[in-house]
Structure 1
Amino acid sequence: MTNEKNQMYFAANPTAKHDEHLVDYHVDKIDLKFTTDAGVFSKMRVDYGSGVLIKAMKEQTFPAGKILDAGTGYGPIGLFAAKFWPERTVEMIDVNERGLELAKRNAALNQISNVKIYPSDVYAQVDKNTKFGLILTNPPIRAGKKVVSAIIGEAIDHLTAGGILLVVIQKKQGEPSARKLMTEVYGNCEILVRDKGYYILKAIKD
């Protein structure tokens, strides 16, 4: 009998039977196509929360340096970041190998080359000497509070001075506790957007 956890999008090697789809998503004049599959988050469409984050992030000004998409899945957030800021490198990380392979395919599909896509358990495989101007995350809520808290709290170690962390999270899935954690760790947390129960939270590293 298949272990159900292996079907989840936060598993390293999902065993769900392949079921690929091609989805379109556009913001302003940028239109990207994404191949999705079973065993990854939101396989039928770019989920609403990711869309709220994509639209909010393009309005941000942040320090020089790379961008990091933590929990990239098949890549919509990171690939839009790469299109918004073509002069910067976007690193895209996840534990889900199927998602990472899709993200690489989607980068090629959309002719995006300013990305580095690789596996990492939270930030374990991220180069400790690399500091990012912007870290983006739609955290994997179903992976549990410990993982979500690590993605949010440990981001500070990977931000440059003045760097920004943007988190999208639903109120009913832990927004109040995420905001509290960000305030404790960063000394600040701003609600940028409220949209149909989704919140965009912003913290800045001093």
Structure 2
Amino acid sequence: MNEFYYTPNPHVVHELHTWNFDLLGNTLTFTTDNGVFSKRTVDFGSKTLVENVNFDKIPAGDILDLGCGYGPMGISLAKVHPDRNFEMVDVNNLALSLAKNNAEQNHVSNVNIHNSDVYENVENKFAAIVTNPPVRAGKKIVDAMISGATQHLVENGTLTVVLQKKQGAPSAKKLMKSLFGNCEIIKKNKGYYILESVYNG
């Protein structure tokens, strides 16, 4: 049976890899394993998203990295925004243990990393939610990650999503526009769309 990265406890033969990657001006060290998404390098979508989040327009408050995997987005953003707290959640317990280790080895302490199936164990409201949703988990999960954001954003908070055009970016944009009344494509790069909506309460 093929165990996917969006399952709680993927059964894998462990094969740890540690490597460096430059994100947002910092050289970060990541340890990954079989059973997590993009284990060899930070995927292009995540890299493009973090490079295009505009913190100048995000209100005061915490940030949620929804579906954080082994942590490249949340950790890289937390490193350059030590004044903010970052909540990082995923359904995959293996990915979460790697994310905790990766936060530690990159000396990032302004993070709270824990298990949540989409928003199930998320209680706070956030100034921003960032997500690179697990497309292979199916449209229902991706749509739940987008639609649930309206319950978890403060006034003027932002939802920023990365999706490939061929993997549903246009339909995600339509959903975000219907939920938030607005959705902007803030970046297009190599078929990846960075979509952003602002929550107006």
TM-score after normalising by structure 1:
0.95
Kindly report which structure 2 residues correspond to 1:103-122, keeping only aligned pairs within 5 A, or say none: 103-122=99-118
CA distance in 2, matches of 1:77, 1:62: 16
5+ long unaligned stretches in structure 1:
none
- 1:147 equivalent in structure 2: 141
Paired residues, number: 200
CA distance in 2, matches of 1:59, 1:157: 21
CA distance in 1, matches of 2:24, 2:66: 24
Runs of 4+ in 1 over 6 A off after TM superposition: none
5+ long unaligned stretches in structure 2:
none
State, as a whole percentage, how many aligned pairs show the same letter. Answer: 50
TM-score after normalising by structure 2:
0.97
CA distance in 2, matches of 1:64, 1:151: 22
- 1:68 equivalent in structure 2: 64
Asked if the contact 2:49/2:194 (under 8 Å) is kept, the reply is yes
Deviation of residue 59 (structure 1)? 5.4
Structure 1 residues 83 and 97, CA gap change in structure 2 (3 angstroms): same
Deviation of residue 19 (structure 1)? 1.2
CA distance in 1, matches of 2:56, 2:45: 17
Asked if the contact 1:58/1:81 (under 8 Å) is kept, the reply is no
CA distance in 1, matches of 2:24, 2:133: 25
Q: Which amino acid aligns with 1:24?
A: N
CA distance in 1, matches of 2:32, 2:175: 32
Secondary structure in 2 matching 1:32: strand
Q: CA RMSD in A?
A: 1.0
Asked if the contact 1:133/1:163 (under 8 Å) is kept, the reply is yes
Q: Which amino acid aligns with 1:19?
A: E
The answer to whether structure 1 residue 126 and structure 2 residue 122 are counterparts is: yes
